[in-house]
A and B are shown apart, each in its own frame.
Chain A
Amino acid sequence: MAENVLKVLENGTDEQLRVAAALRDPALFADLYESNFDRVYAYVARRVPTRQDAEDLTSEVFHEALRNLGLFEWRGVPFAAWLLGIAKRRLANEWRRNGKKLEVARDNLEEAGIEGRIEETAVLSQLVEELPSDQRRVIRRRFVEQKSLREVAEELGRSEGAIKQLQYRALQNLRSGMGKRHV
């Protein structure tokens, strides 16, 4: 395996290099995690009913990936595809264990448009991180945690009108960022 890693380090693509590096030093898996987290989470979140389920499954996917990184073979497909394969198997196991259909639509990865929507959500998640801090806080509390306008205003010590303005501007920025990334 060491020879293969060296060969990749000499000739591989950026992602190949990162995988090879993580094989040599598992701590470098953080880089792969960082670049694929939003995609994996978006994929899982579309298929499970609760945020808690999405977090549990995403966690399982990355732990399994780290544990079995040595089994990953570079065959020209992105590392994300391998991760999503793990996620797909985990979801199937989850459905089987629950013994019933989950309420969330279980679109296949190959289904038309699904890949685009996953990518869109992943980019949106990254753009939220790039927002000014006050806008980011409003977005997270208002939409991720789904708090009311009043709760957010009280929590941030601002008026409801200010919060409304902040969320409006934040959403405009996000739309603008999405447009720039052609998503």
Chain B
Amino acid sequence: MSDLSLVDQLEVGIEALHAGDDSVQPACDPEIAGLLSLVSQLRTIPREDFKARLQADLMEAAEDIGGLAADAVEILTSGNTGDHGRILETVSRRNALAMRYNAAAKDVEDVPFDLLPTLSGGGEYPVRRGSFIASLAAHAAALALIVTSGIWAAGRGETRPQVNSVVVTDISYVLPPASTESRGGGGGGDQDKLKVSKGNPPRFAREQIAPPTIVVRTERPKLPAEPTVIGPPNLSFPQTSQLGDPLSGVLGPLSNGTGSEGGMGSGDRGGVGPGRGPGVGPGWGGGFGGGPYVVGGGVMAPRAIYSPEPEYSEEARRVKYQAVAVLQVVVDAQGRPRDIRVARSAGMGLDEKAMEAVRQWRFEPGTKDGRPVAVVVNVEVNFRLY
């Protein structure tokens, strides 16, 4: 292959490269292929005048820097800092230089700080607007959640109440000690127009088959049974021939009283007296003495089976008030709270909150001799803030 043909081959290759076609190179002579690879590189070398032009610019800048530095050094070393005119001139030149450099560096300084380049979209990776917005929204939501939950928790933490309630069977500090082992009462009558006549009740027994009667309406009952009232069998009244209410002031004529459902007195349900139930006296639920049973002497305490805790009153929470309220509650034979009253006041609206809650309580009723009876207990409610 002649030189001329190599020259021509080279020219063909160069023209192809200029046209953007790289396929010629492998097809030509190996020597020409090597030269063409140089041609590709030569296309990236700088223009002839650029290098010299840039050097001239740099030298001009260097001269400014050098002159400025020299002036500054001279002023400082001479100690002649009173030469205000020269100092001002130096400062002015320095400012002019700074302005020129700032203009040259503007492109760079306009670019934001090189942090998270993909965030601003200027980095090596393009920003997908959808992803960017979704990410932004997710971060904003997370931040809002953190802030609001923090505020909520902080607010709750200041006034979060904790209320503990406990049923206290010892009511000695609110009630005087019982003179007998139990209390209770009952009442009855047969709707007579006359008040019950004075006498003694029948004996106490654990169960009642027939209520006591002064005026016998059924002369010959089919199944005779001894009349009794329910109460501790060891309690006894003087047994006389005349049945009646020992608290009545009416000596005669004989009467079962104005009550109802059997028994004697103005009450009801087969007892003696103005109460309710098969006992004697103004109370209810059997026994004697007026009022419900207290725990002890064979009377078992009721047990709370549903006891929602009271709420803290807003007033007390606002001033961070803590206290203990004691309620006296009669738990009837059905396990319901009755006659709730405040035995020890806590104040600040906490008593009302405690009563409101205890009204909803349900108990397994107290028992006496295995039978459910009304029992008085205390409920202690401890209001605390944490």
Contact = CB atoms under 8 A, between A and B. Distances in A.
Interface of A: 25-27, 29-30, 33-34, 37-38, 41-42, 45-46, 51, 54-55, 58-60, 62-64, 66-67, 89-90, 92-101, 106, 120-121, 124-125, 128, 139-140, 142-146, 148-149, 164-165, 167-168, 171-172, 174-175, 178
B88 interface: no
| Chain A interface SS verdict (over half) | helix
Given A25-B66, A26-B65, A97-B110, A143 B117 contact: no
A139 B63 contact: no
B311 to A, nearest CB: 60
Nearest to A126: B45
B10 A171 contact: yes
A45 B44 CA distance: 6
26 contacts: A26-B69, A33-B54, A38-B46, A45-B44, A45-B46, A54-B44, A59-B54, A59-B57, A67-B61, A97-B110, A98-B122, A99-B121, A101-B124, A121-B45, A124-B45, A125-B46, A145-B47, A149-B11, A167-B10, A167-B11, A167-B14, A168-B6, A168-B7, A168-B35, A171-B38, A175-B35
A140 B110 CA distance: 36
Interface string B302-344: 0000000000000000000000000000000000000000000
B107 interface: yes
B104 interface: yes
A41 to B, nearest CB: 5
Contacts of B123: 92, 95-96
Contacts of B124: 92, 95, 101, 106
A66 B104 contact: no
| Chain B interface SS verdict (over half) | helix
Contact of B62 (A29, A37, A92, A175): A29
A133 B94 CA distance: 42
Contacts of A93: 107-108, 111, 114, 122
A181 to B, nearest CB: 13
Contact of A46 (B44, B47, B65, B111): B44
Contacts, number: 163
A45 B41 CA distance: 11
A140 B101 CA distance: 32
B332 to A, nearest CB: 83
Given A96-B117, A120-B41, A171-B10, A51 B47 contact: yes
Contacts of B105: 60, 63-64, 67
Nearest to B36: A171
A95 B41 CA distance: 24
B15 to A, nearest CB: 8
B63 A26 contact: yes
Interface of B: 3, 6-8, 10-11, 14-15, 18, 34-35, 38-39, 41-48, 50-51, 54-55, 57-59, 61-63, 65-66, 69, 101, 104-105, 107-108, 110-112, 114, 117, 120-124, 126
Given A27-B66, A41-B51, A174-B38, 4 more contacts: A26-B62, A29-B59, A42-B44, A93-B107
A67 B57 CA distance: 13
Contacts of A38: 45-46
B58 A62 contact: yes
A129 B48 CA distance: 9
B44 A30 contact: no
Nearest to B61: A66
B63 to A, nearest CB: 6
Given A63-B61, A64-B105, A175-B38, A41 B46 contact: yes
Q: List 6 tightest A-B contacts by C-beta distance, closest first.
A: A96-B122, A26-B62, A143-B42, A125-B45, A171-B35, A93-B111
Contacts of B46: 37-38, 41, 45, 51, 54-55, 58, 125, 144
A139 B124 CA distance: 35
Given A100-B126, A101-B126, A175-B35, A67 B42 contact: no
A172 B48 CA distance: 21
Contacts of A120: 41
A144 B42 contact: yes
A30 B38 contact: no
Contact of A164 (B11, B41, B44, B55): B11
A121 B35 CA distance: 14
Nearest to A98: B122
Nearest to A141: B48
B132 to A, nearest CB: 13
A92 B104 CA distance: 17
Nearest to B18: A146
A179 B61 CA distance: 38
Contacts of A25: 66
Which of B55, B63, B122 is packed against the most chain A CB atoms within 10 Å?
B122
Nearest to B10: A168
B114 A92 contact: yes
